[in-house]
Structure 1
Amino acid sequence: MVNGKICIMVVDDDTRMVRGISDSLRFAGYEVMSAGNGEEALEVFYEQVDKIDLILLDVMMPVRDGYYVLSTIRDERHMTPIIMLTAKDEEYDQLRGFRLGADDYIGKPFSISLLLARIEAVMKRSGKLVAEDLVVGGIAINISKRSCVNDGTTMELTKREFELLYFFLLHPSLIFTREHLLNQVWGYDFEGDSRTVDTHIKQLRIKLGEKSTYIKTVHRVGYKFEV
């Protein structure tokens, strides 16, 4: 931990991906370290091993790939939780990661809410985190259970509606462009356009009922969630 906060190391050669993930993790209350390739990741890990609580590790990287980093860390009996991030979704690649000691595996593209849920689940299994509901304006979300309750009434949300609302609750009063919401909720590799965001905002407002006004349109910019 760093300053009483769980510390996560993000390892990926895609600087845009690292920046986006790191910003979201900090918003969610985590401390973040980063590395751009496998060799650098091992250097940072050995220097900060007592502070790093979890590693988000990309598979395909220059110099040393994620499998090498994973096997090296596990061969030296370090049991720091590791979640693999990869564009590969073949079963063989996933099995290889688990056999080397990975704790979880997320295929790209992924939403930030899914990533946060996986991090929470892995940290709970490791005994380092106790899950709590995220509550804003009478709306309570439990990311592990994928449940949302509005003033005591359970809301039936689609996967994207849930992730969008969760992202808003994580960042109350902050303004986000449609592009930012696409990147954070749908994933950086999503090929849709900004109308996707508008459509989901419309449906989410309908389901929020009287609290639909919490999602505010910022003219010519995007949206914000404000109670």
Structure 2
Amino acid sequence: MVKPIILIIEDETAIVAYLQTELKFEDYIVLTASDGEMGLSVFEQNSNRINVVLLDWMLPKRDGLEVLRRIRKLNSQVSIILMTAKSDIGDKVAALDSGADDYITKPFEIEELLARLRVTIRHQNKPRPKLYQVSNLVLDLDAHRVTRDGQVIDLTQREFQLLTYLIENADKTLTRDDLLDNVWGVDFNGQYNTADVYIRYLRQKIDDHFYPKLIHTVRSVGYVLRAK
């Protein structure tokens, strides 16, 4: 079995040493970087091998959000868990909207981090189609591209994740809790109407100027993506 590779981008040496020891004990291969610029350099050299990036928010040279956005441009599929001492919900929402898959608040117990890594890597190992199509909407996971009737649709990272979840569950009615848990994460503590807001964003981009309408509201329940 191939060992998962974790990149830790963190400037506190004690935290790095601790995480490195614990992760190696769990049979992970660990790469490290002590500032934002070094983190990007290590990632660029190993982007096709890295499974998960553990990314500190407050970093020298380039902060975590900037590193996060740069990594997303380099590789849209790698999983990124943001490590942050920030407790403000707005900050966490900003991180998720910038492309983080998950976040964990410092200080944290190593058991919690290990559990999040297991879930993340388990999701990566699930066989997934690379191309989805519903009517004239096509989502290409490898190219990280969405087209409707042949026209390329520009989506943010969060919109792409939401559409991926909807299209993976096409014809199935999904509740707001389903969307929040699977797109924003089970620990999301933001506004409950966040899912509604992003559904509206998606509709404006993939439905408003096309036929047939694909995203449908199921009153008092949630949403479903289907062609009819």
TM-score (norm 2): 0.53
Kept after mapping to 2: 8 A contact 1:12/1:36: yes
What residue in structure 2 maps to residue 116 of structure 1?
114
Are residues 1:36 and 2:34 paired? yes
1:17 to 15, 18, 33: 15
> 1:12–1:37: 8 Å Cα contact kept in structure 2?
yes
Q: Deviations over 1:15-68 (max 9, x none)?
A: 110000010000011000000011000000000112211100000011001100
- Checking the alignment, whether the CA contact within 8 Å between 1:71 and 1:101 is kept in structure 2 is yes
Partner AA of 1:114 in structure 2: E
Shift of 1:74: 1.2
Question: Which residue is equivalent to 2:6?
Answer: 8
Give yes or no for the alignment of 1:56 onto 2:54. yes
Q: CA deviation at 1:122?
A: 1.4
**Is the Cα–Cα contact under 8 Å of residues 51 and 78 in structure 2 kept in the other structure?**
yes
Name the counterpart of 2:226. none
Q: Which residue is equivalent to 1:221?
A: none
List, as ranges, runs of 4+ consecutive aligned residues in structure 1 with deviation greater than 4 Å: none
What pairs up with 1:121-160 in 2 under 5 angstroms?
121-127=119-125
Indicate which of 93, 105, 108 corresponds to 1:107. 105
Aligned residue type for 2:106:
K
Distance in 2, Cα, partners of 1:82 & 1:62: 19
1:8–1:55 contact (8 Å) kept in structure 2: yes
**Which amino acid in structure 2 is aligned with residue 111 of structure 1?**
E
The amino acid that maps onto 2:97 is: R
**Where do 5+ consecutive residues of structure 1 fail to align?**
130-227
Identity %: 39
Q: Distance in 2 between matches of 1:52 and 1:94?
A: 24
User: Partners in 2 of 1:8 and 1:44 — Cα distance?
Assistant: 11
CA contact (8 A) 1:104 1:122 kept: no
Q: In structure 2, how many angstroms separate the alpha carbons of the residues matched to 1:37 and 1:10?
A: 10
Compared CA separation, residues 108 and 128, structure 1 to 2 (3 A): farther
Aligned to 1:87: 85
Aligned AA (1:101)? G
Letter aligned with residue 126 of structure 1: Q
Contact 2:47/2:75, CA 8 A, preserved across alignment: no
Instruction: Indicate whether 1:26 and 2:24 are aligned.
Output: yes
Task: Work out whether residues 9 and 52 of structure 1, in 8 Å CA contact, stay in contact via their aligned partners in 2.
Answer: yes
Conserved 8 A contact 1:84-1:105: yes
Count of residues paired in the alignment: 127
- TM superposition shift of 1:128: 6.2
Mapped partners of 2:3, 2:22: distance in 1 = 15
